[in-house]
Chains A and B, each alone.
Chain A
Amino acid sequence: MLGAIRSRAGGPHSLLNTILKCKSGLEPAAAAWAIGGRRNASELTVREALNSAIEEEMSADSKVFIIGEEVGEYQGAYKITKGLLQKFGPDRVLDTPITEAGFTGIGVGSAFYGLKPIVEFMTFNFAMQAIDHIINSAAKTHYMSGGKIEVPIVFRGPNGAAAGVAAQHSQCFAAWYGQCPGLKVLAPYNAEDARGLLKAAIRDPDPVVFLENELMYGESFTVSDEVLDPSFTLPIGKAKIERQGTDLTITAFSKMVGTCLKAAEELAKEGINAEVINLRSIRPLDRETINASVRKTSRLLTVEEGWPQHGVGAEICASVVERSFEYLDAPVERICGADVPMPYAANLERLAVPQLEDIVRAAKRVCYRATEQRAAA
C-alpha cells in the first residue's frame, strides 16, 4: 500500500517519498536510481559522491556550471564529471584550452556577474598558474569592494601526494590557501564528507577552495540514506570526531584521516585509546572542537602530508598552546611530510610521506610510552 501511495504522489525525490522512506525504513531504491544505480545503494565511492553532488546542484540551480580542462568530452581527467556534459550540454560544462590563468579568470569574472562556477584544476599544483586569480581576484574582492561584489565560486581538484607523480604533482596546498582571509578551504576525507562539503561549497556565497585527494577517489564507503538525499549538506567550519578516545587527540584531514584511524586501531591493541578528529574544514578551522578534545585527553598529535614549516599542524599546535596550555600533559607534536620536494622513486616517496608506523610511534612518544628519539626533520 505504501508503494502505491509513493508512485502516485510523485517521483523518487518527492517529499512524501522521503517521509515514507524514513518512517518505514524501506530500501532507498530511489536514491540508487538518482546516483546511477549500483548493486548496493548505501556503498558510495568518493568519486561517485562528488559526481552526484555536482549533478544535483547543477540540476537544482541553473546558474551553476563547471569549467576546466577535460571536464566535458573526456568525462573529467579523473572522471569526476562523468556524464555531466551529456546531461547538461556544452553551455554548462565547458571544456577549455590549456590556460589555468585564463579559465580561472573567466570563472571569477562570471561569478562577479552572478553565475556560480565550479572551476576544476587537474591538480592544485597547476592552480599555481592561476593562484593570482584565486587570491587577488576571488578571495579579496568581497572585502575590497565594500561588500558589493560577491564571488560564489568553487575551485576544486586533487591536492597533495598521489603515487609516483613526483614533485610537481604532489604538493599539498592546504596551508597556503588556509592562510588567506576571504577564502574558505575544505578537505573532505570520505564519501559523506565529499558529498556534504561539496554541496555546501557550491551553495556558499564565498569563494571556496575544495581540496580532494586522487588516491581517495576510488575508495568506497558505507553511507546512510540521509547522505544520499539531495538536500544533504555538511556545515562548513565544523570538524568531525571520527573516533572517540580518552588518551590523546590526533588531528588529520583528507587521506591521513584513514591512516590515523588505522593507527588508532593499532594503538588500541597497546592500550592507548586515541581520539581521531577529521578536520573537514581548514579555514575556518574548528578550534573549539580541537581544544575541547585536547582538554579531555591532554595530549595532541597533528598529522598532515604537507611540509612542516608553516603547515596546518603548526596552526593547530599554536591554537592549542594559546587556549589549552594548562591542560597539556606533554609537548604538542606534528607529523608532516618530509621537508623536500616529493621524490619519484617508490622507496623514497614512502619515506617522504607519513606512514602508519610514524603515526603510531609519534602517538607513543606523546604518551611517554617510548624512548626512541624522533626522526630528524
Chain B
Amino acid sequence: MASSVAARKLLRIARKPWSPSAALSVKRSGSKYFVEAEDPDLCRTGLGGSLFFRLFSSLGASHDSLLHCNYEENAEQRAAFSGATIAYTEDLQFVSKLLPSRIPCFRVLSELGKELGKDVPQLGRTMAQKMYEQMVTLQVLDNVFYNAQRQGRFAFYATCTGEEALNIACAAALNDTDTVFPQYREPGVLLWRGYGLQEFADHCIGNYQGHGKGRQMSIHYGSSKLHYFTISSVLGTQIPHAVGAGYSLKMENEKRCSVTFFGEGAASEGDFHGGVNFAACLEVPVLFICRNNGWAISTPASQQYRGDGIAGRGQAYGVRSIRVDGNDALAVFSAVKAARQLAVDNNEPVLLELMTYRVGHHSTSDDSTKYRDVAEIRHWTEKRDGVARFRNWLESKGWWNKTMEEQFRWYVRAEVIACLAAAEAKNKPPLADLFSDVYDSVPQNLAEQETQVREAVRKCPEVYPTDVPL
C-alpha cells in the first residue's frame, strides 16, 4: 500500500466492531506499508469478509498485503495454538467484564409509532393489517382463556400479554415451512400459520379433538402440519432440538431454516450453551430467538445473568447476533427476515435478542404483584405496549381507525367465546387414547390391560364414569 495515510484510514475502518478482522496490524517495510490480518481467512470468507476485501482493494491495498500472513517475521509476536493463531502481549491486562457500551437495540418506530431511520420495512396494507388483526386476536384469546381458567373451566393457562407484537412479527418474517421449536409464550406463530381458534380451545379444554389426544397440558400446543413442534415443559430442551432439526434441513438442502424461541431465563440452562456452541461448530441454519421479557417467574433479568444479556453471548460462540426492540413489530420483522436470509444462505446460526416485557403473570399459578411493582406493570401496559405502537403506525398510514378497532375486537371476542363453548360441549377423549401411542404399536401388556378394562365395564357398566367414551 503506497501511503501510510491510506493504511491508517483502512485500519480505523477495520477496527470497527462489525468488521470481521478487528485484529490487524500495520507493518512498514521500506517505503511500503503492509496491513496484515492475523488470520487471512477472516478477510476472505463470508459476507463481511468479501466486503472487507473490496474495501481494501479500493484503497489501493495490494493482493499480497491482504493475504500475506508473515509467520516467519512475526514468529515472536504470535503463535499458532490449536484452534487459532493468537498474538502475544507483554501487558498483564484482563479483558473487562463488559464492553464500554452494551450492544445497541435496533428499532424503526418510536414509542408513538413514528418511523425512524432508513431501515423501515415496506409492508403493504394487506400484510400490515393482517399482522395487526392477528395481534389483537392473540390479545383477546389470552384475555378470554385466562379468565376461563380462573372460572375453573380448564386447569392451566399462560398468556403472552405484552409480547403479542413480537409473536406476530416473528411469525410473519419467517417462511411458513421453517420448523419452529417454541418455549410456550409463542402461540402467535401458530395463529399466524393457520391454527384455528377452535383448535386452541379444543386443546386447552382437552376434548377428543384437541392436539395430543388429551395428553398434553393446556397451552402445550403443537402441529406437525404447521411445522410447529409440540411444546415441552422442560426449559431449554428445544434449543438443541432445533439444532438437530436444522442439521436435518441442511442435509436436505432445501433452504429452510430451523427456529427456536426461549426466554432470557431458559437461556441460563446448560442446553443453551450446548445448542448454540454446537450450531456454530456444525454450521447449521438455525435462528436462536430470545424473548428477553425481564422476568423468569419472580427472577428479574438482573439476577439471571451478569453479562450483556443474551445477545452479548453470541460472539463468544462465534455466532452473529443482534439486539432488537421486541415491542417494535417492524424492527422485529426486519431483523428476523434478515437473520433468516443469513442463516439459510450461509448455513450458519444467528442469535437474536428481542427486548420486551412480560406484562402478564408468569401463568395462572402466579401472582406477579407479589414480587414486582404494580406501577411497573402499568407503565409498560400504558406507555410501551407493542400493539398500541403498531396501531399508531397503522393509523398514521390511514390503514386503521377507531371504528374498525371496536368492531374487530367485538367480533374476535365473540368468536373466541363461541369456540370455547363449542369445545366444552364436545366429548372427552375415549378410553383407547389412554393406551395408544406409548410405542409405535401397542405393546402386549397394555393391550391386555385395555381388554381387561373393557371386560370389567361390560360386567359392571353402572360403575363406569360417564365422561369417558368407550
| A106 and B444 contact, Cβ closer than 8 Å, known pairs A113-B249, A146-B213 | no
What's the least CB distance linking A206 to chain B, in Å? 5
Closest A residue to B282 by beta carbon equals A94
Closest B residue to A182 by beta carbon equals B438
What's the least CB distance linking A27 to chain B, in Å? 39
B281 at the interface (CB under 8 A from A): yes
- Inter-subunit contact A110/B245 (CB<8 Å): yes
A136 at the interface (CB under 8 A from B): yes
B462 at the interface (CB under 8 A from A): no
Complex Cα distance, B212 from A133, in Å, reads 20
What's the least CB distance linking B183 to chain A, in Å? 14
A105 at the interface (CB under 8 A from B): yes
Complex Cα distance, B239 from A284, in Å, reads 31
Name the residue among A91, A102, A107, A141 with the largest chain B CB count within 10 angstroms: A102
A96 at the interface (CB under 8 A from B): yes
Complex Cα distance, B242 from A70, in Å, reads 23
How many residues of chain A are within 8 Å of chain B by beta carbon?
43
B243 at the interface (CB under 8 A from A): yes
Complex Cα distance, B243 from A94, in Å, reads 14
| A115 and B274 contact, Cβ closer than 8 Å, known pairs A106-B241, A109-B181, A141-B230 | no
How many residues of chain B are within 8 Å of chain A by beta carbon?
44
- Inter-subunit contact B438/A105 (CB<8 Å): no
* Contact residues in B for A137 (Cβ distance below 8 Å): 232, 234, 237, 241
Q: Which of B179, B270, B273, B437 contacts A147 (CB 8 A)?
A: B437
What's the least CB distance linking B413 to chain A, in Å? 29
* Contact residues in A for B234 (Cβ distance below 8 Å): 132, 136-137
What's the least CB distance linking A66 to chain B, in Å? 13
* Contact residues in B for A146 (Cβ distance below 8 Å): 211-213, 215-216, 437
| A143 and B438 contact, Cβ closer than 8 Å, known pairs A99-B273, A103-B274, A109-B241 | yes
* Contact residues in A for B239 (Cβ distance below 8 Å): 105
Q: Which of B237, B247, B438, B445 contacts A136 (CB 8 A)?
A: B237
Render B272-303 as a binary contact track against A, CB cut-off 8 A, 1 for contact: 01110110011000000000000000000000
What's the least CB distance linking A216 to chain B, in Å? 27
* Contact residues in A for B247 (Cβ distance below 8 Å): 106, 109-110, 115
Complex Cα distance, B281 from A147, in Å, reads 33
A37 at the interface (CB under 8 A from B): no
- Inter-subunit contact A144/B240 (CB<8 Å): no
Closest A residue to B274 by beta carbon equals A102
B341 at the interface (CB under 8 A from A): no
B222 at the interface (CB under 8 A from A): yes
Render A120-161 as a binary contact track against B, CB cut-off 8 A, 1 for contact: 000000000000110011000111111111100000000000
A and B contact pairs by CB, cutoff 8 A, 29 listed: A91-B251, A94-B282, A96-B278, A97-B278, A99-B270, A99-B273, A101-B271, A103-B240, A105-B241, A105-B274, A106-B274, A106-B275, A108-B244, A109-B246, A113-B249, A114-B248, A132-B237, A133-B237, A136-B234, A142-B437, A145-B211, A146-B211, A148-B222, A149-B224, A149-B229, A150-B440, A182-B438, A184-B439, A237-B443
Residues of A within 8 A of B (CB): 91, 94, 96-97, 99, 101-115, 117, 132-133, 136-137, 141-150, 181-182, 184, 204-206, 237, 284
Q: Which 4 A-B pairs have the closest CB atoms?
A: A102-B274, A109-B244, A105-B240, A109-B241
